[in-house]
Amino acid sequence: MDAIRGLLPHNFLPDNFLQSNSLPSNPLLWLLLTLACYQAALWLYQRCGRRAIVHPIATSAPFIALLLWLSDIPYRDYVAANQLLYFLLGPTTVALAIPLYQEFHHIRKLALPVLLTVLLGSAVAALSAVGIAWLVGANRLVLLSLAPKSVTTPIAIGIAENIGALPTLTTGVVVFTGVIGTLLSPLVFYLLQLRDMRLQGVLLGLNAHGIGTARSFEIHPTAGAFATLSMGLTGIFSALTLPYAVRLF
Amino acid sequence: MLKGVIVILLFQLLGETLVALLQSPVPGPVAGMILLWLALAIKGGPSKDLSVVSHNLIQYLSLFFLPAGVGLFFLPPELHQYLPALISAMVAGTLVAMLLSGWLLKSLARSPDSTQTRTQVRNPARNPADQ
């Protein structure tokens, strides 16, 4: 709290206002800060020509973490204050049916390559993460929590609970993977000389789930629809296979 | 606006109810998305209102992941020793997986039946809501 007080001009707020601790404990402040930080990050992103390297989540998440740390607010209080944003993830997932329907005539023509890539690609995504972490020396809980890393959050949490992983760790890993996948996508597209926006969408949805899908919608609505499809297929396929796959190890 | 919100929440509820009945591992919102897609295919397209609400929600998809992303900076102390493993798995693992799946997708999509459709992508979208 003292850190925040230090940022404000002298006598900016009445003394009793701060002493009663009503401002930092008001959930509305933290929802407002999340929205304001994201808006500022979005502004920076647009000013930099929507370069993946300044993705709004990559810039706003560390900044909010710093604010929480400075003002000594527990993360669980911050989560409770931002329940509205968690909730909106559900209706937004349902809303993806509309672009999926509108772009379906494009999707039908590439259905087989997309389906095969998602089947193999979601297995590669899980295996490469778990394999590398195992080589570097992670324990079983961390390995399990990494397995659903490329699966969109609501599905990943369900998988994490099912396979005995730590859901809070999985959630963080999933979001970080989405940001990393989006940041790496221009490099990957360059290395593979991948210029077809439909295929770019498939890769973003497969490896960077919702965050990659949001990025694909910025490329083109058709890319967004392909990302939606591959995100959904990756999620459903992983939910059906991962609980059985982990029993083998 | 409200009509679109009602349709979306209704389908989420339908999806969650269906998943609970079937005890399926597929999350409710994903089932709701599939049900809404089926309804659109039967009805022949979304209303203007539904398109607007859907567009506005999808525009802020990244934002809805933000609170969860902040959580990675507040891992329980007993996990701190595994941070190098976590970060290398997320960065290197994602790069390897993207390159492999991208190479596979590019090879598969190059087959003759899909190359001829490539020119059609630039066609104006079928639905006026896209413009």
Instruction: Give the three-class secondary structure for A214.
Output: helix
CA distance A10 to A18: 12
* Interface A:B, Cβ pairs < 8 A: 323
ipTM, 2 decimals?
Answer: 0.83
- In contact, A107 and A124? CB cutoff 8 Å: no
Report the pLDDT averaged over residues A59-77: 92
**So what's the pLDDT on residue B123?**
44
Across the interface, whether the CB atoms of A94 and B32 are under 8 A apart is answered yes
Other Cβ atoms closer than 10 A to A71 = 18
User: How far does A14 lie from chain B, in Å, by closest CA?
Assistant: 30
Kindly indicate the confidence band of residue A7, based on its pLDDT and cuts at 50, 70 and 90.
low
Residue B120: predicted pLDDT: 43
Give the pLDDT confidence of A86-107 residue by residue, as tens digits.
Answer: 899 899 989 989 998 988 888 8
One-letter amino acid for residue A108 of the chain:
R
Q: For chain A, what is the mean pLDDT?
A: 87
Q: Alpha-carbon distance A171 to B131, whole Å?
A: 35
Residue with tokens 């999985």: A170
Q: What is the pLDDT of residues A177-194, one digit of tens each?
A: 999 999 999 999 999 999
Of A86, A149, A192, which has the smallest distance from its Cβ to B67's Cβ?
A: A86
* A47 vs A18, more confident: A47
Cβ–Cβ contact B9 with A under 8 A: yes
SS3 A73: coil
DSSP class of residue B76 equals: -
Sign of CA dihedral B103, B95, A125, A59: negative
A189 neighbourhood in chain B, CB within 8 Å: 102
Name chain B contacts of A106, Cβ cutoff 8 Å.
117, 120-121
- The partner residue sitting opposite B88, judged by closest CB among A125, A132, A213, is A132
Do B29 and A38 lie within an 8 Å CB cutoff?
Answer: no
Low-confidence residues of chain B: pLDDT under 70:
111-131
| pLDDT tens for each residue of B10-24 | 999 999 999 899 987
Say if residue A16's pLDDT is above 60. no
CA A196 to each of CA A186, A189, B129: distance values in angstroms, whole numbers, following the listed order: 13, 9, 23
Residues from chain B contacting residue A207 (CB–CB below 8 Å) = 94, 97-98, 101
Q: What is the pLDDT of residue A5?
A: 53
**Distance of alpha carbon A160 from alpha carbon A174, whole angstroms:** 11
Interface probe for A, chosen from B9, B61, B88, B118 (most Cβ of A below 10 Å), is B61
Q: Which letter, b or e, does each residue of A78-89 get, where b requires 16 or more Cβ atoms within 10 Å of its Cβ?
A: bbebbeebbebb
